[in-house]
Structure 1
Amino acid sequence: MKLLIFGKTGQVARELQRIAPDATYLGRDQADLLNPAACAAVIASTDADAIINAAAWTAVDKAEAEETAATIVNGDSPAAMARAAAARNLPFLHISTDYVFDGSGDLPFAPDDPTAPLNAYGRSKLAGEIGVRDAGGNHLILRTSWVVSAHGANFVKTMLRLGAERESLNVVADQIGGPTPAAAIARALVEAAGSLLDGAEGGTHHFSGDPDASWAEFAREIMGQAALPCRIEDIPTSAYPTPARRPLNSRLDCSLFDATFGIARPDWRAGLSDILKELRA
Structure 2
Amino acid sequence: MNIVVIGKSGQLAFELQRILKDTSHDVTFLGRGDIDITSSESINETLAPLNPHSVINASAYTAVDNAETDADSCHAINATGVKNLAEFCKQANAFIVHVSTDYVFNGLKGSPYLTNDKIEPQGEYGKSKAEGEKWLLDILPNASCIIRTAWVYSSHGNNFVKTMLRLMAEKPQLNVIDDQIGTPTWAMGLAQACLHAGESKTIGVYHWTDEGVASWYDFALAIQEIAIEKGILENAIPIFPIPSSQYPTPAKRPHYSVLDKLTTREVFSSCKPSHWRRQLSTMLDEVNANK
Q: Which TM-score applies when normalising by structure 1?
A: 0.95
Partner of residue 149 from structure 2, selected from 144, 151, 175: 144
In structure 1, the residue matched to 2:120 is 116
In structure 2, the residue matched to 1:279 is 287
Residue 257 (structure 1) shift = 1.4
Residue deviations 1:19-62 (CA, integer Å, cap 9, x gap)? 11251000111112343441244333322221100011011111
SS at 2:65's partner residue?
helix
Q: Find out whether 1:25 has 2:26 as its counterpart.
A: no
Partner of residue 162 from structure 2, selected from 157, 162, 165: 157
2-structure distance, mates of 1:160, 1:31: 34
In structure 1, the residue matched to 2:232 is none
In structure 2, the residue matched to 1:13 is 13
1-structure distance, mates of 2:134, 2:44: 17
List 4+ stretches of structure 1 deviating above 4 A. none
In terms of mean alpha carbon deviation, does 35-44 or 50-59 score higher? 35-44
Amino acid at match of 2:61: W
Q: Which runs of 5+ in 2 are unaligned?
A: 229-234
Q: After TM superposition, list the pairs within 5 Å mapping 1:15-54 onto structure 2.
A: 15-21=15-21, 22-54=26-58
Report the number of matched residues: 277
2-structure distance, mates of 1:147, 1:93: 17
1-structure distance, mates of 2:46, 2:264: 29
Residue 261 (structure 1) shift = 2.2
Query: Is the Cα contact below 8 Å between 1:52 and 1:94 reproduced in 2?
Result: yes
Amino acid at match of 1:166: K
Residue 214 (structure 1) shift = 0.4
In terms of mean alpha carbon deviation, does 213-222 or 256-265 score higher? 256-265
Query: Is the Cα contact below 8 Å between 2:37 and 2:85 reproduced in 1?
Result: no
Residue deviations 1:163-184 (CA, integer Å, cap 9, x gap)? 1112321101011111000011
Partner of residue 60 from structure 1, selected from 36, 59, 64: 64
Q: Find out whether 1:96 has 2:103 as its counterpart.
A: no
In structure 2, the residue matched to 1:194 is 199
SS at 1:76's partner residue?
helix
Partner of residue 125 from structure 1, selected from 107, 122, 129: 129
Identical aligned residues as a percent: 40
